Structure 1
């Protein structure tokens, strides 16, 4: 059985496409609301990702970020009558539009401002991974994959995001998001 981690490895002589959602915490005052500038900032941050990850100011999720969002959407089933803070950790924030002179090959970008970062951190701190997994887990384990390994991968992503958003919220930072392919 393949694990989710193994899916990104070299298989049959082919290397699968690498795609990541990259999140970087940054003081809101340091952000320019300009797609070209922000793409350059995030490009440099991506080049420095190992050091920034070690410093706790950056995280990235490989191509399963949509499934991580699906895990968090299980909170909507549990708490259908409340606001939807479960949307914030992965897809929250506002898109930064390409300007007319922006390079169209620049990645899609979004900014989650400090109040949203605080809401995301609170949601993640209050969310029981086990409860979310009980609601959504069966849909997240693809045929032929080892359930225990997939569960562990999602738990690792959850813990990573909990720590990242807690630190960003504590510092009063915004979170900038880019998708790298």
Structure 2
């Protein structure tokens, strides 16, 4: 089964705070994923986004676990509610406003992947055939997210996140 966390940057004025509308918008964006990725307005992570989030929690050096900039890139934002009449197959979505996008971009620009990996990376890996490949995959996700959020913040965009299964 394929499952993805899909990120899409968009001007806040161009979106509606409506689950049905956003689901259709994001489905259309998913259909054009390759084009939108090339344009720098989308990103996605297949299956491993929770371990990318765990990598970022290593930035919580105080151990508070509380809301902080390290929580923004993957799970940040607010849930987009759908009406009780909505199809239960509608995907879960999150909405990040432009200030949250800027905070996520600042976090990603300022955090050291190597330091995060040293702090928790081996624990995420958990053994297996190729630690270097696992690390490289997470580094690529980190670099891709850093570029995506940086572009979105520079443009003053919001970010919509959706889980496709």
Shift of 1:144: 1.5
Which of the residues 86, 99, 102 maps onto 2:70?
86
1:149 aligns with 2:130: no
Count of paired positions: 165
User: How has the CA–CA distance of structure 1 residues 34 and 81 changed in structure 2, closer, same or farther, with 3 Å as cutoff?
Assistant: closer
Larger radius of gyration: 1
Which of the residues 51, 75, 79 maps onto 2:59?
75
1:87-102 superposed matches below 5 A:
87-102=71-86
Shift of 1:118: 0.1
TM-score (norm 2): 0.96
Deviating 4+ runs (over 6 angstroms): none
Shift of 1:106: 1.1
Alpha-carbon RMSD: 1.6
Stretches of structure 1 lacking an aligned partner (at least 5 in a row) = 1-16
TM-score (norm 1): 0.87
Residue number in structure 1 paired with 2:154:
170
The answer to whether the 8 A contact 2:57-2:65 is kept is no
Stretches of structure 2 lacking an aligned partner (at least 5 in a row) = none
Which of the residues 33, 42, 45 maps onto 1:58?
42
